[in-house]
Amino acid sequence: MTRVRAVELRMIGLPLVRPFRTSFGTSTEKVCVLARVETDDAEGWGECVADIEPGFSEEFNDGARLVMREFLVPALFAAGDLSPGALDRVFAFVRGNPMAKATLIDAVLDAELRASETSLASWLGAERDRVECGVSVGIAPTTGELLEQVAGYLADGYRRIKLKIEPGTDVERVEAVRAANPEIALSVDANAAYTLEDTDLFRRLDASDLLMVEQPLHHDDLLQHAELQRRIRTDLCLDESIRSAARAEAALSLGSCRIVNIKQGRVGGVPEARRVHDIARSASVPVWCGGMLETGIGRAQNLALAAMPGFTLPGDTSASSRYFLDDLTEPFEMAPDGTMAVPNGPGIGVTPRPDRLEACTLRVETLRP
C-alpha cells in the first residue's frame, strides 16, 4: 500500500538528430510530458507518449497534461492508499485517454517497484537480459538517401529495418531497399495511410518478402484489416488499432493481424501492455515492442517489456543516439551485435540526469493534495 504525496508534471523538449517523417507528419523535436510521483516510500517516473499534435492518436501533449492535472491526479490523491494494480479502477471514470493514464500508472508502478527494490523487468517476468533491436526509418527525401540511411543502420548492427511508407513513396522504395539487401529482416509501416482499394499495391509488396506490413488501413479499424489479411500473403501487424487488451483480443479473433505491435502508452500503461502480451501469447501470435521516440525514461520501460517471452521479434527499441545527441538519462547503447541490455535496477532502473532535465524543461508544475 502506498500513498501519492505529490505529482510533478514537466513538459520537456529535445531536438531529434534528424527529422522523422511518417505518413501523418514530420517531427524535428521530441516534446512530451514527464510525470514524477512522490509516494510515502519512493519516487517514480512516467513518460507520456503523446506528441505535439493529435496526428498518431487523438491524444496530444497539452491535452494529456490537462487530463492529468484536472482529472487523473486529483483522483490519485483522493484514492488515498493504493494497492498495486488499483489504478485502472481509480481512472475508469475518465473514458479513453490511455496515454495520459499510462503516464501516471507507470510512474506509480515505478515508485512501488523502487520501494520494494524490484526491477520492472523481473516484475514482468522478463526472461532475457538483452533484447534485439530494430530501427524505424522515416520517409527519406530520395531513394538514394533512404538506401544510405538503411546502410548506416545495418552497419550499426540493427537486426530489423522498418520503412515508413505513404501513398506514392512505397513499392519502388521497398523494392530498392530489398534489392540492395536481399537477406535482411525488412518491414513497412503505413500509419493508416491506405484503404482496401490499395489491395493490389499490397499484393505487389508480397514479392518483397517482408516480415510484416504494419497498420496499412484506418487507425481504428479491425474488419477491413481482416479482409486485407485474407487477400495478401504477408503478415499484417496492428499498431494504432490496438488500444487495449480487449481490442487485441477482438483483432486476433477477427483475423485482423498475425503480429501485434505493443506500445505500453497506447494501451494505457505497462500492466495493460502485459495483458496484451498474454493474450497474444496464448494465441501463439508474436508481439514486438513499438517505439514513440521515447527519451531514456520510456525507453527503459520498453526494454523491460521487450524482454518478456512473447516478444519474439526485434522492436523499435533503438539506441539513444538514433534519436538524440544527448538523452535525458544516461544513453542507451546498442552492442555491435544489435542487442541492448535490459535495465535491472529497481523500478525502470534509470532516472533523468538532473542537469539534462533542467536544460530540457519547457514548463513544470507540482501538484499536491
Q: Which of the 8 DSSP states describes residue 68?
A: I
- Which pairing describes strands 134-137 and 160-164: parallel, antiparallel, or unpaired? parallel
The verdict on whether 30 is a catalytic residue reads no
Q: Report the helix count and the strand count for the chain, using DSSP H and E.
A: 14, 13
Cβ proximity to ligand NPG, 2 vs 22, nearer residue:
22
Q: How far is the CB of 15 from ligand NPG (least distance, A)?
A: 15
Cβ proximity to ligand NPG, 216 vs 291, nearer residue:
291
Phi, psi of 175 (to 5 degrees): -65, -35
2-31: contacts with ligand NPG (CB under 6 A)? 22
CA distances for 361 relative to 55, 109, 263, 264, 365, angstroms: 23, 23, 25, 24, 11
Q: How far is the CB of 264 from ligand NPG (least distance, A)?
A: 12
Cβ proximity to ligand NPG, 136 vs 234, nearer residue:
136
Contacting residue, 43, 47, 51, 106, with ligand NPG by CB under 6 A: 51
Contacting residue, 2, 187, 191, 339, with ligand NPG by CB under 6 A: 191
Q: How far is the CB of 245 from ligand NPG (least distance, A)?
A: 19
Contacting residue, 103, 241, 264, 318, with ligand NPG by CB under 6 A: 318
**Residue 264 bridge partners (DSSP):** none
Instruction: Give the binding-site size for ligand NPG (rule: CB under 6 A).
Output: 13
Contacting residue, 59, 112, 221, 316, with ligand NPG by CB under 6 A: 316
Tell me if 136 contacts ligand NPG by CB under 6 A: yes
3-state helix, strand, coil in the chain (%, to 5): 35, 25, 40
Tell me if 169 contacts ligand NPG by CB under 6 A: no
Residue nearest to ligand NPG as judged by C-beta position = 291
Q: How far is the CB of 49 from ligand NPG (least distance, A)?
A: 7
Per-residue interface string for the shown chain with ligand NPG, residues 288-307, x marking contact by CB under 6 A: --xxxx--------------
Q: How far is the CB of 212 from ligand NPG (least distance, A)?
A: 13
Per annotation, catalytic residue among 30, 101, 162, 263: 263
Cα angle 335, 299, 281 (rounded to 5 degrees) comes to 90
Tell me if 56 contacts ligand NPG by CB under 6 A: yes
Name the nearest CA neighbour of 245 among 362, 335, 253: 253
DSSP, collapsed to helix, strand or coil, labels residue 262 as strand
Q: How far is the CB of 292 from ligand NPG (least distance, A)?
A: 4
User: What angle separates helix 245-254 from helix 270-282, to the nearest 10 degrees?
Assistant: 20
Cβ proximity to ligand NPG, 22 vs 329, nearer residue:
22
DSSP 227-258: HHHHH-SSPEEESTT--SHHHHHHHHHHT--S
Contacting residue, 221, 239, 272, 327, with ligand NPG by CB under 6 A: 239
- Which pairing describes strands 259-262 and 287-289: parallel, antiparallel, or unpaired? parallel
- Which pairing describes strands 130-132 and 160-164: parallel, antiparallel, or unpaired? unpaired
- Asked if 111 contacts 39 with a C-beta cutoff of 8 angstroms, the reply is yes
The verdict on whether 162 is a catalytic residue reads no
Which of the residues are catalytic? 164, 263
Residues at the site binding ligand NPG, with contacts judged by CB under 6 A = 22, 51, 56, 136, 189, 191, 239, 290-293, 316, 318
